[in-house]
A and B are shown apart, each in its own frame.
Chain A
Amino acid sequence: AQRVTQPEKLLSVFKGAPVELKCNYSYSGSPELFWYVQYSRQRLQLLLRHISRESIKGFTADLNKGETSFHLKKPFAQEEDSAMYYCALRTQGGSEKLVFGKGTKLTVNP
């Protein structure tokens, strides 16, 4: 069964500190992984997708198939990064569904 685990419900760091939001997945096929961000009372927005290997707002994420992980990292956190972050796994086949983790709430303190 497909599963996404975000072990930290809450993560608090100080401005300028590095931040890493953990995501582990369980899936027997070839995974497609995404990070979504939700700022306070706003819609979910796509932040990163693993296949693009891009850096958005200073965030990067690398797919590690050996460890089945897709951790989100930023070297220097900013207060505006405070938000809810969701890791999501896209399953293959006709359904095209996303399986979401339960989310990590990141708070960046001044």
Chain B
Amino acid sequence: NAGVTQTPKFQVLKTGQSMTLQCAQDMNHNSMYWYRQDPGMGLRLIYYSASEGTTDKGEVPNGYNVSRLNKREFSLRLESAAPSQTSVYFCASSRGQGRNQPQHFGDGTRLSIL
């Protein structure tokens, strides 16, 4: 039972390069999320998708785009990477509607921008 799977696990980019982080979940969840985790900042929401076909900005969306490809997959794209985007990126999913629905997280992608 894989849960939430993220690829790649590690990546090093040069400033200005583009990259897409992939996320897939096999729990038939409606909602999916992308976070970045930085020391002393906790987790900050970049974008989320409450349901298939919808996406919305979170707290720190600048420099990122997302695509909810289907119910299972939610990708995060950096069009022109900047050193400030060096971070650990986590994808998460949840059932969505209804009380007390927790989010389930992937293993994360460590991204370094040189």
Contact sample, A vs B, 20 pairs, CB 8 Å cutoff: A9-B40, A32-B100, A36-B105, A42-B107, A43-B4, A43-B107, A44-B43, A44-B92, A46-B102, A46-B103, A46-B104, A86-B42, A95-B50, A95-B56, A96-B31, A96-B101, A97-B33, A97-B48, A97-B58, A101-B42
Is there an interface contact between B100 and A52, defined as CB atoms closer than 8 Å? yes
Residue pair A43, B96 in contact (C-beta under 8 Å): no
B99 proximity list for chain A (CB < 8 A): 32, 51
We find that the number of chain B residues with CB closer than 8 angstroms to chain A is 29
Least CB distance, A54 to chain B, in whole angstroms: 12
- In the assembled complex, the Cα of A86 lies from the Cα of B41 at a distance in Å of 11
Confirm or deny: A110 has a beta carbon within 8 angstroms of a beta carbon on chain B. no
Cβ contacts A79-110/B at 8 Å (1 or 0 each)? 00000001000100011111011110000000
Please state if A96 and B100 are interface contacts (CB–CB under 8 Å).
no
Task: Write the nearest CB–CB distance from A80 to chain B, whole angstroms.
Answer: 20
A95 to B92, CA, bound (A): 14
Residue from the set A32, A43, A101 with the largest chain B CB neighbour count within 10 Å = A43
Sorted nearest first, the 9 A-B pairs with minimum C-beta distance are A102-B42, A44-B105, A100-B43, A46-B102, A51-B100, A43-B105, A100-B42, A43-B107, A103-B42
Residue numbers in A under 8 Å from B48 (CB-CB): 95-97
Contact B97 A96 (CB under 8 A): yes
